[in-house]
Amino acid sequence: MLPILYFGTEDQKQHFLPKLCSGEWKASYCLTEPSSGSDALSAKTRADLTEDGKHYLLSGQKMWITNAGFADLMIVFAQVGGTQFTGLLVEAKSPGITLGAEEKKMGIKGSSTRQVFFDKVAVPVDNVLGEIGKGHLIAFNALNIGRFKLGNMAMGGAKKAASISIQYANERIQFKQPISSFGAIQFKLAQQAIEVFTLESAVYRVSNLLLQQKEQLIEQGESLEHALLKAAEEYAIECAAIKVAGSEYLDYVVDEAVQIHGGYGFSEEYTPAMAYRDQRINRIYEGTNEINRMLMINMLLKRATTGAIDMVGPAWEVQKELTKMPGMQKPEGKFGYEDKSLADYKKLALMVLGAAVKMQMDGQLNLKEEQEILMNGADLLVDIYMAESLLLRLKKLESTGKYRLPEVYDAILSVSFHDLNARMAKTATDALCSFASGDLLKTFLLGVKRFTAYPPTNIKEKRRIIAAHLIEENEYTL
């Protein structure tokens, strides 16, 4: 429905949206083709204007189309005249549409997924969605909010999988005691909870940002549709980060749910087997996680080059800081170490990305051909955003007197930053070693050491504190 809400004419909205909102009609989104997955704009399906100018004749093939088996309306992307990527509203009962058999998928078996074939399907010219040749705006903006929604769904699935894990660990008796009493299992339960709690923090943060942006734009005179669209555009990087983190956090939580269940986890009679199959698609659809990582960096660099944000100034300040002796004073306040470390991690990301961009500007590097470096850069950004979201949430809880589980919250924060510190150091080192060498590399590596100085903590005991709470509650209740 969102493409019609965002880009449809008033007549199109009045004709299609009431039926879709009521559930009388179902819709499907026909973008992917056998030869165009991540490269959606290379679609071969085409639409040619009839001689009388009243219809487009649509011919081609789409695949992996959700709801295809029962959809009443299809939003189809095709090349008008063979060159102009455009969205079309196609009623599914139109002559010339045939469907392939239901796909036999690894997971999400309750979802109808079929190929759709178009053979000179007559589509009224009034059913062009948006502008001819501007279909990429529809496709990409619908994907922006879709990525955010996927992160939300991953959060819900992860919560459920975490609770199932806790309950089974409490019920399963081995060596005359529940397996939840063993340190190896407590590690898994605690880490599941840390990832769910962190993901939830980021999801609610982005939700609030989208809401505030929408309300601000409406106050400035924008329509609801344009406000929603522009909010999704403004926070496209954050939506991509939520998609990547959500799908990969869920990946871990469900995988460990299978492991905690042992042999039963591999049986289709127990929930983890289905969850394991179902969750795997999340790293692929709504743009693969690889595409989303590159998208994040590309959007960030584009905003920097257009002046929307300033990366050069802060990056240069970080470069100058490397020549100074680091301060030795102890951070102040309850979250002092986390505040300092988070600021340092941002400097680290600026150092890495700034150096890579500088080398590209000097003709020593072509980032388009160095996807590994883009992946490293995106990982730095995702890790920082998730950690900052966690810290902001705990600060808000503390400031509003709702820090109801102080030992557990403190443990979540300590373990998160302890693990993050090591990941940041490795990711930055991997990236820097990919394009720098000699004395320059040595300088950068000193910077890595300087900017990853979170104090070590006894994460074994911290995880046990988290696990003890979960075991007592017998479900995820954070």
Was domain 311-473 assigned CATH 1.10.290.10?
no
DSSP character at residue 125: G
Point out the least confidently predicted range of 165-179, 318-332, 358-372: 318-332
**pLDDT value of position 330:** 78
Higher pLDDT, 251 or 41: 251
Local confidence band at 454 (pLDDT 50, 70, 90 cut-offs): very high
Q: How far is residue 427's CA from residue 348's CA, in Å, rounded to a whole number?
A: 10
Tell me the pLDDT tens digit for each residue of 419-446.
Answer: 999 999 999 999 999 999 999 999 999 9
**pLDDT value of position 328:** 59
Tell me the pLDDT tens digit for each residue of 98-107.
Answer: 999 999 999 9
Catalytic residues: 286
For residue 58, pLDDT over 70 is answered with yes
For residue 353, pLDDT over 70 is answered with yes
Q: How far is residue 155's CA from residue 178's CA, in Å, rounded to a whole number?
A: 27
Q: Identify the CATH number of the domain defined by range 2-133.
A: 2.40.110.10
Residue 454, judged by CB atoms within 10 A of its CB (0-12, 13-18, 19+), counts as buried
Query: What's at 111, amino acid-wise?
Result: S
Tell me the pLDDT tens digit for each residue of 139-198.
Answer: 888 888 899 999 999 999 999 999 999 999 999 999 999 999 999 999 999 999 999 999
* Mean of the per-residue pLDDT values of the chain: 94
Residue spans in the chain of domains classed CATH 2.40.110.10: 2-133
Residue spans in the chain of domains classed CATH 1.20.140.10: 137-291, 311-473
Into which CATH architecture does domain 137-291 fall?
Up-down Bundle (1.20)
Assess contact for 256 and 165: CB atoms under 8 A: yes
Tell me the pLDDT tens digit for each residue of 64-80.
Answer: 999 999 999 999 999 99
**pLDDT value of position 306:** 85
Local confidence band at 57 (pLDDT 50, 70, 90 cut-offs): very high
Q: How far is residue 368's CA from residue 10's CA, in Å, rounded to a whole number?
A: 41
**pLDDT value of position 331:** 84
For residue 48, pLDDT over 70 is answered with yes
Work out the angle between the directed axes of helices 438-451 and 406-435 (0-180°, nearest 10): 180
Percent of the chain with pLDDT over 90: 84
For residue 324, pLDDT over 90 is answered with no
At residue 124's C-alpha, the angle toward residues 122 and 127, to 5°, is 120
